[in-house]
Structure 1
Amino acid sequence: MIEISSLCKNLGDEQILKDINLKVEKGSIFGLIGENGAGKTTLIKCLTGIYKADEGEIKINGQEVFENSDVKQKIGYVADQNQYFSSFKIKELVEFYKMTYTNFSLERFKELNKIFRISEEKRIRELSKGMKMRVSLMLNLSIQPEVLILDEPTSGLDPIIKKKLMSILMEEVAERNTTIFISSHHLNDLERICDSIAIMDKGEIKYINNIEAMKDSIKKLQVVFKDKVSADFSSWNEIMTVEKLGRVNYIITKNYSKELEQKLLSHGAMFVEEIDLSLEDMFIYSMEEGKKNEKILA
């Protein structure tokens, strides 16, 4: 559905994206996470055809995105900062979208507005950031897109509306087989809805996996040894970090297996307990691991 191959992008003299390669399956929800300045928004602007790639290619349904109006008809894009005509009323913006997108559904907009509750008589300049986000979400869901690209879509939304939005997105996938590409700092939300996740750092994709596989691989182990530890297991390939608190060792794995557990037992562990991590925890530990490796290589 979405294929990004060897993508590079410079802004001025700075290289922002470096050899990005991604594939997103149709009817899936793909999450992009990373620290501020990692290049997430630049990648999204390339994906939506706002920026032209300096190298590589981006295809949706086998077609290049940049300057391709047929493909863009099928893409909904909700930006982190929604810049609309400030003097327009909501109902005038709806008319603009109806003229622009052939599949725009006024019925769908009205249905969504029963949830988001924005008066169509209000002008854009009268709206708060969260209200503008609601309008953008309604408009882009109403074009009935094949691909929905969201950059921080819960920014400015209250908890009740945010929860409703997550349900709407899952319904979009279940009922219309929509493909959703979403970037957010709210990792708990992504954990609930995403099939796969990519971690981005300094313009590069550092890690890609589906959520369940991540949970199977990245775990926290609580380990107690009988006597003094006989091995420096912090250097083992399967292990990211070790934190010690008294006799208890908290081990973060990057490739958990029952073989690793047996390996610890053979080195004198008398107690090994698995502790599942949240996506936020996994992200933090993965980023710390990457920075540790950078220091080693420097």
Structure 2
Amino acid sequence: MLEVKNYSFKHGDNKILDNISFTLESGKILGLVGPSGVGKTSLIRGIVGLYKGEGSILLKGEEVYDNPKVKNKIAFVPDEHSSFYLIKISEIINYYKSIYKSFDEEKFYEINKIFKIPLNKRFLQLSKGMKMRVNLMIAFSLNSELLILDEPLSGLDPILKEKLLKLIVKEGAKNNKSIIISTHNLIELEKICDEVIILHNGSIDYHNSLDKIRRNFKKIQVAFDMPVYVEDLTFKGIFRISQVGRVFTIIVEENCEEFKEWLKRFKPLFLEEIDLSLEEVFINRIEGKCIDEEIL
């Protein structure tokens, strides 16, 4: 189990992360999402032990930072990786075999039947998508206890994306592995994750299981024949209301059934409940908190 306890991180005088706390059980997949620049990469680097901040990050009760024994239980795939720029893929395999006892060469070759990377090519000769595939195969082959993927779908075509998502789910379930995925691709993430953390301004804006998100978040569209104003629609659990003509679109986080019953006092002409996707939940929680930059 991964435990992040009151973790904060500064870069100079700039506070990047502020009091982050969460746990991730073995066998679970966590989606880490948020607008660009909110601290996702800094949090990931803290979890893998590259950054030291205030608070603590523990894997199965042991501190990660400055602990090689624990770091060997973590596999990390960054968005960009150029460490093996000049060497061949076959040489990369030999390198990992020599320093990681847990490296499973047979598993690497098995996954490469899907990804089809020519092993005699140098890393620099590969496209961005192919480089990501190599890094993913290495990470899967390390048989780690914690797998962290930063934008793993970047540069992959739709068919390979689907195959990778299946591999991730299989890896977590079969090996009881904790997995963290940071991505902007929320439509794909929703297919596989168990939990979601939304980061905003260096803090956790929201953390819940995907099942609860699906149950709790609803969009209500309703129209009234009588005069009704936004200020009339005050009810616990509402966090966003918009209006076009007589039609109101209301995003409800909880108490949806009670809210629909309460709305009957206004004698609605129609009332429709719609499920929200993870992407819609993200947009509705974050939109309005971000300052739009002028597009020139």
TM bucket by the smaller chain?
over 0.9
Mean Cα displacement is larger for which, 204-213 or 232-241? 232-241
Paired position in structure 2 for 1:215: 214
Q: Which amino acid aligns with 1:274?
A: E
Distance 1:195 1:11 in 2: 31
Q: 1:118 to 1:36 in 2, by over 3 A?
A: same
1:259 is the counterpart of 2:274: no
1:93 Cα deviation from its structure 2 partner: 0.6
Q: Give the TM-score, by structure 2 length.
A: 0.94
Secondary structure at the aligned position of 2:190 is classed as: helix
1:5 is the counterpart of 2:5: yes
Distance 2:190 2:184 in 1: 11
Paired position in structure 1 for 2:84: 85
1:11 Cα deviation from its structure 2 partner: 1.2
- Are the aligned partners of 1:187 and 1:279 in contact in 2 as well (CA < 8 Å)? yes
Paired position in structure 1 for 2:294: none
1:254 Cα deviation from its structure 2 partner: 2.2
Secondary structure at the aligned position of 2:191 is classed as: helix
Paired position in structure 2 for 1:244: 243
Distance 1:162 1:201 in 2: 27
Q: Which amino acid aligns with 1:175?
A: K
1:102 Cα deviation from its structure 2 partner: 1.2
Q: 1:277 to 1:233 in 2, by over 3 A?
A: farther
- Are the aligned partners of 1:230 and 1:268 in contact in 2 as well (CA < 8 Å)? no
Query: Structure 2, unaligned stretches of length 5 or more?
Result: 292-296
Paired position in structure 2 for 1:295: none
- Are the aligned partners of 1:233 and 1:239 in contact in 2 as well (CA < 8 Å)? no
Distance 1:215 1:272 in 2: 19
- Are the aligned partners of 1:8 and 1:16 in contact in 2 as well (CA < 8 Å)? yes
Mean Cα displacement is larger for which, 61-70 or 263-272? 263-272
Secondary structure at the aligned position of 2:156 is classed as: coil
Paired position in structure 1 for 2:169: 170
Secondary structure at the aligned position of 1:103 is classed as: coil
1:115 Cα deviation from its structure 2 partner: 0.5
- Are the aligned partners of 2:89 and 2:120 in contact in 1 as well (CA < 8 Å)? yes
Distance 1:96 1:232 in 2: 65
Query: Structure 1, unaligned stretches of length 5 or more?
Result: 293-298
Secondary structure at the aligned position of 1:91 is classed as: helix
Paired position in structure 2 for 1:30: 30
Q: Which amino acid aligns with 1:246?
A: G
Q: 1:90 to 1:6 in 2, by over 3 A?
A: same
1:270 Cα deviation from its structure 2 partner: 4.2
Q: Give the TM-score, by structure 1 length.
A: 0.93
CA shift digits 1:117-166 (9 cap, x unpaired): 11111111111111110000000100111110011111111111111000
Q: 1:184 to 1:45 in 2, by over 3 A?
A: same
CA shift digits 1:47-88 (9 cap, x unpaired): 0011112x1000011110012111111111000111222111
CA shift digits 1:90-117 (9 cap, x unpaired): 0111111112221111100000000011
Q: Which amino acid aligns with 2:144?
A: P
Secondary structure at the aligned position of 2:152 is classed as: coil
Moved over 4 A (4+): 289-292
1:272 Cα deviation from its structure 2 partner: 1.9
1:57 is the counterpart of 2:51: no
Secondary structure at the aligned position of 1:193 is classed as: coil
Distance 1:12 1:101 in 2: 35
- Are the aligned partners of 1:28 and 1:195 in contact in 2 as well (CA < 8 Å)? yes
- Are the aligned partners of 1:9 and 1:15 in contact in 2 as well (CA < 8 Å)? yes
* Identity between Structure 1 and Structure 2 (%): 43
Secondary structure at the aligned position of 1:199 is classed as: strand
- Are the aligned partners of 1:229 and 1:268 in contact in 2 as well (CA < 8 Å)? no
Distance 1:76 1:86 in 2: 19
Distance 1:143 1:29 in 2: 18
1:291 Cα deviation from its structure 2 partner: 5.4
Q: Which amino acid aligns with 1:252?
A: I
Distance 1:152 1:234 in 2: 40
Paired position in structure 1 for 2:131: 132
1:193 is the counterpart of 2:192: yes
1:237 Cα deviation from its structure 2 partner: 3.4
Q: 1:29 to 1:233 in 2, by over 3 A?
A: farther
Mean Cα displacement is larger for which, 243-252 or 12-21? 243-252
1:114 is the counterpart of 2:100: no
1:231 Cα deviation from its structure 2 partner: 6.9
Distance 2:255 2:117 in 1: 48
Secondary structure at the aligned position of 1:215 is classed as: helix
Distance 1:199 1:234 in 2: 27
- Are the aligned partners of 2:218 and 2:256 in contact in 1 as well (CA < 8 Å)? no
